[in-house]
Amino acid sequence: MDGSEDDVHARKMKSLGHFTQGIVHDIRNSLHVVLSASAMIGRRTEDPLILHHLTSIEKTIERTNGLIGRILAFANQSEEHLGVVDVSDSIDESITLIRPMFPECIAIEWHRPAQPVYILGDHDQLYQVMLNLLRNAIEAIGCDNEGTILVNLNHACPWVEIRVKDTGPGIAPDVIENVFTPAFTTKADGNGFGLANVFAIVEQHGGTMQVVSSPGEGAEFIMLLPLVPDMNL
Ligand SMILES: Nc1ncnc2c1ncn2[C@@H]1O[C@H](COP(=O)(O)OP(=O)(O)OP(=O)(O)O)[C@@H](O)[C@H]1O
Ligand SMILES: [Mg+2]
């Protein structure tokens, strides 16, 4: 993309963000009305069947709220706040925050480099990237299986390379070509926005994202992000 195409793309993303925000606002208001009505009915009945259906309504609303949050995050990517960040710090903090949601049988290997690794980035968006990659890795390994997630960082000017590899079942060739497509999922309760989000964030950071996997041999997500020139040893 040249500069003018970049501008057009940024403008389109911005208007998509505003458009989506408006719709999401209305949907959230409507869901809130349904949720309040459901709570009110719940207080006036002891009928187990009605209470059972009310629980389904509340769970569905919770899931729908989660889904629209993801759509909003995807549409709002024009609003990044780039600054100089130590990417190893972002990874470290993400792992510390996400670690409590790992089942105990899944190990994580991550060796933080001794020196900071500076990129022009958005700390919150980098957290989103790690959250999505680690969640997918955990979901791929499964809660009842032993497994390991390896997070690796190597840098050599002008790039830092970050790899997230798991020992799950891997990705079949017909699936792998679609994993970054918005709304593509193979999971019964998936939304398919996790990796689309990751891809868009990495692109906005001027980087590239790829995945390698053979069925039975786990999956490895590899991203390259540009280093800040003259700030890295
Ligand atoms: N580590 C992995 N191992 C195997 N398959 C994976 C892995 N990561 C992603 N996938 C495949 O890529 C698909 C898309 O992933 P993505 O994160 O975009 O959506 P999702 O996990 O299905 O739903 P969600 O929106 O909740 O993240 C998954 O449904 C799965 O088939
Ligand atoms: Mg996911």
Beta bridge mates, 221: 164, 211
What is the domain partition of the chain in residue ranges?
3-75, 83-226
Q: Which one, of 199, 202, 188, 191, lies nearest residue 71 by Cα?
A: 191
Residue 223 has pLDDT above 90, yes or no: yes
Residue position matching structure tokens 């009928």: 47
CA of 175 relative to ligand 1 center, distance in Å: 10
CA of 154 relative to ligand 1 center, distance in Å: 25
What single letter denotes the amino acid at residue 143?
C
What pTM did the predictor assign? 0.75
Q: Which one, of 209, 212, 201, lies nearest residue 176 by Cα?
A: 212
Ranges of beta strands (E only) in the chain are 83-86, 106-110, 118-121, 147-156, 159-166, 208-213, 219-226
Nearest CA to ligand 1 atom 11: 179
CA of 39 relative to ligand 2 center, distance in Å: 31
Nearest CA to ligand 1 atom 19: 192
| Chain segment 135-186, per-residue pLDDT in tens | 999 999 998 889 999 999 999 889 999 999 999 999 999 999 999 998 899 9
CATH number of 83-226: 3.30.565.10
Strand order in the sheet with 106-110: 106-110, 147-156, 159-166, 219-226, 208-213
Nearest CA to ligand 1 atom 8: 136
Nearest CA to ligand 1 atom 26: 190
The residues lining ligand 1, judged by C-beta closer than 6 Å to any ligand atom, are 70, 132, 136-137, 140, 166, 168, 171, 175, 179, 184-187, 190-196, 219
Mean pLDDT of 209-228: 95
Res 147: pLDDT:
95
CA of 184 relative to ligand 1 center, distance in Å: 8
Res 9: pLDDT:
66
Quickly count helices (H) and strands (E) in the chain.
Answer: 6, 7
Cα→Cα distances 66→61, 122, 136, 175, Å: 9, 22, 16, 24
Instruction: Give the Cα separation of 210 and 213 in Å (integer).
Output: 10
Instruction: Give the Cα separation of 105 and 69 in Å (integer).
Output: 30
pLDDT band at 80 (very low <50, low <70, confident <90, very high): low
